[in-house]
Chains A and B, each alone.
Chain A
Amino acid sequence: MSALELQKAIYSKLSTDLTVSVLDNVPSGTPYPYVVIGDDTLNDSSTDDFIGFQATVTIHSWTDSEGRKQVKTIQQSIFDSLNRCTLSISGFNFVSCTQEYSETMLEADGITRHGIQRFRVLYDKS
C-alpha cells in the first residue's frame, strides 16, 4: 500500500532525526512536545510503464511552551530532516521531498502552540 509505505518512511526518518516523539495516534495524556504525522493526499503521477504518485503529507508539531520558540525549533528540525532528503520507501523509487509551506498558530485554549508543515513527495514503482 503506497500511502502506508510513505508514512513508514517519513516516520523512520523523523524518529531518527528528531529528539521529540513522533506519533500517528496520540494517546490521551501524552506530554508535550510531540510531532504527529498527519493526513496525506496522493495524486496519480504515472506513465505508460510505471505507477507514480505525487503525495502531500502534513506534519503537525504540538507544544505548550510559552512563545513560539519551541514550536519553531521543532519545525526547523523537521525541515532539516525532510526537505530535499532521501526517503527509503519500501517497494518504490524515491524521487523528491520538498516542503511546500510552514505555519504556526495558537490554539483556542491560549496555551497550545500548533505548527503545520506540508511536504510534497514524488515516488514511483516500475
Chain B
Amino acid sequence: MASFIGRDAILTWNAVAIAGVKTKGLTIANSSIDITSGDDSGIRTLLAEAGEKTVDITCSGVAVDTALLEDAMSGSVSAVLSLAYPAGFDTLATTVSGTFFMSSFAITGEYNGAATFDATFNSSGAITIA
C-alpha cells in the first residue's frame, strides 16, 4: 500500500485509453434507507444496505482527438469504462470497470490556449473491482 501519481491511473473507454487526460475522478455513492421509527428515541437509524449504489467517473484534460466527441454525438454513449490503478495503490493493480453511460461531454477552447474537454460517466449495472 502506497501513494501513487495520478497519471499512472489509466482511464479506458471502449478498450481505448482516453487521450489527453489531466484529471480523473471516481465517486461511489450509496443512498441510505432511513428506517428510523418511534422505537429509536429520536436517533436516526439506517438500513445496513444501500438503496442504490452508483459509480460516477469524471475526467478532463487537453482535447487531442475526437474519440469521445464522436461517441457523445453519435449515440455510442454506453460502453465499457475501466479505471486501472497501478500496483502500489494496493498490493496488486486494481481495476474498476463496468458499463457506463456518458452523461455529458464538453469541449472548450479559448482563442489563445489549448482546447480542453471534460466528460462524465455514470455506471449502469454491476461494477467490478478486481
> Which residues of A approach B to under 8 Å, CB–CB?
45-50, 52, 95-96, 98, 120, 122, 124
Contact = CB atoms under 8 A, between A and B. Distances in A.
B61 interface: yes
B72 interface: no
B119 to A, nearest CB: 14
11 contacts: A45-B62, A45-B114, A47-B7, A47-B19, A47-B20, A47-B22, A47-B62, A48-B61, A49-B21, A95-B114, A96-B112
Contacts of A96: 112-114
Contacts of B62: 45, 47, 52, 124
Interface centre among A45, A49, A50 (most CB of B within 10 A): A49
For the complex, would chain B's binding face be called helix, strand, loop or mixed by DSSP majority? mixed
B96 interface: no
A49 B114 contact: no
Contacts of A124: 62
B87 interface: no
Nearest to A120: B112
